[in-house]
Amino acid sequence: MKNLFFYGTLRHIPLLEIVLGRAAAEITFTSQELKNHAALAVAEGPFPCVVNRAGAVTKGLLVEGLSDTDIARLDFYEGSFAYDLRDVMLSGGHRAQIYFPAPGVWTTAEPWDLAEWEKDWAALSCFAAREVMDYFGKYSVAQVGKMFPMIRTRAAAMVNAAQSKHGAGTLNGKVDVQQIDRVYTNYFALNEYRLQHERFDGTMSGVLERAVFVASDAALVLPYDPVRDCVMLVEQLRMGPIARGDGSVWQLEPIAGRVDPGETPQEAAHREAAEEAGITLKTLEKVGEVYASPGDSTEFFYIYVGLTDLPDKSTGVSGLHTEDEDIRSHLMSFDDLMSMVDAQQAANAPLVLAAYWLARHRDRLRLAPPKVTPDIT
């Protein structure tokens, strides 16, 4: 049995419960201090590392009587963050081990604050930890580390889901999820569910088997110049048409990209406009917050029309090489956009939705073109 001292995110008891796989009532822990060490935030993520610092005191949690299985689970979780165990002596005379960062991995910043982290990141971190610990005994630490950015992005989507505005007037019935199997995971994931749900007559359904494509939330924006009365579309290769056998696999669509952890959909829209097309949006007009295909996918879209200036020189080929993006931008008059949509020549649902929204609001937007700085709140 071993004793460990936690100075960072595992001081958050719900997260500790997830990692250890048991309830707080089954865990022996007390508040302790470690002298001559400081817990510092790191620039690379919302978590701390501990460093030697004379005179500093680090507050933390001493967890006692950890089994070999507990340590294996902790090593699996912490291993994704490049931490190793070392022996320390705590202020109360207790000997314990602590997770130290590998040298040179993290860039330290200001002192780390647990309350601030809990406010901004605790819910996301718990969602991410549940997925990480589902892989315990199935994948290596290295494999989970490679997948971790997308694990956090999927967790961010679950945090966003708690703030969804839709659902008024629909049944708020019981759903009994009996089993979830993750049959595939990499950049995206595929889950298989066994569940029952309440029916409209008040009875429960039989046990159903369903598969769900697990993706991230995405921000999509159709740039519109109200002075020139034109829009920008981007063109790129898409896997959906390839897999379906479509003869047109390069698609015209709005600018789009996933909403990263800690980022608002509006911030994502502004960022993607700069990355994919090299343009700066002045303001965002909300078009819709919708599921892409609620019958079989978690993918959720925040769709906007972004007001901006679109001179002829704004077109070209762009995209992030680090994400293997090869994106060509096009300018199109509003009339040409609507002709394309009305002729069913646009195969991208968010583009069609944004185009019809623009048709309804175009007169208002042209009456008072924006002359303000970008709003990303």
First and final CA of the chain: distance in angstroms?
Answer: 49
Quick one: 9 and 24 in the same domain?
yes
Q: For residue 324, name the pLDDT band (cuts at 50, 70, 90).
A: low
Q: For residue 101, name the pLDDT band (cuts at 50, 70, 90).
A: confident
Query: If you average pLDDT over residues 119-137, what whole number do you get?
Result: 95
Does 146 fall in a domain? Answer: no
Residue 158 has pLDDT above 70, yes or no: yes
Does 153 fall in a domain? Answer: no
Does 54 fall in a domain? Answer: yes
pLDDT, tens digit, 9 for 90 and up, residues 203-217? 999 999 999 999 999
Q: For residue 248, name the pLDDT band (cuts at 50, 70, 90).
A: very high
Quick count: other Cβ atoms within 10 Å of Cβ 303?
25
Q: How far apart are CA 359 and CA 171, in angstroms?
A: 33
Does 20 fall in a domain? Answer: yes
pTM for the model: 0.87
Quick one: 185 and 236 in the same domain?
no
Structure-token match 């901004």, residue found: 120
Does 199 fall in a domain? Answer: yes
Quick one: 188 and 247 in the same domain?
no
Q: Which two tokens stand for residue 28?
A: 């022996």
Q: Which of 26, 110, 209, 323 is catalytic?
A: 323
Q: Is 323 labeled as catalytic in the residue annotation?
A: yes
Ranges of H-type helices in the chain: 13-20, 68-79, 114-134, 141-161, 239-244, 265-277, 334-342, 349-367
Quick one: 254 and 124 in the same domain?
no
CB 100 within 8 A of CB 41: no
Between residues 272 and 317, the one the model is more confident about = 272
Q: How many domains does the chain have?
A: 3
Structure-token match 């993006």, residue found: 325
Residue 313 has pLDDT above 90, yes or no: no
Q: Which two tokens stand for residue 157?
A: 């989507």
Domain membership of residue 19 as a residue range: 2-134
Q: Which two tokens stand for residue 133?
A: 């610990």
Quick one: 230 and 300 in the same domain?
yes
Quick one: 196 and 247 in the same domain?
no
Residue 372 has pLDDT above 60, yes or no: no
Does 195 fall in a domain? Answer: yes
Quick one: 57 and 112 in the same domain?
yes
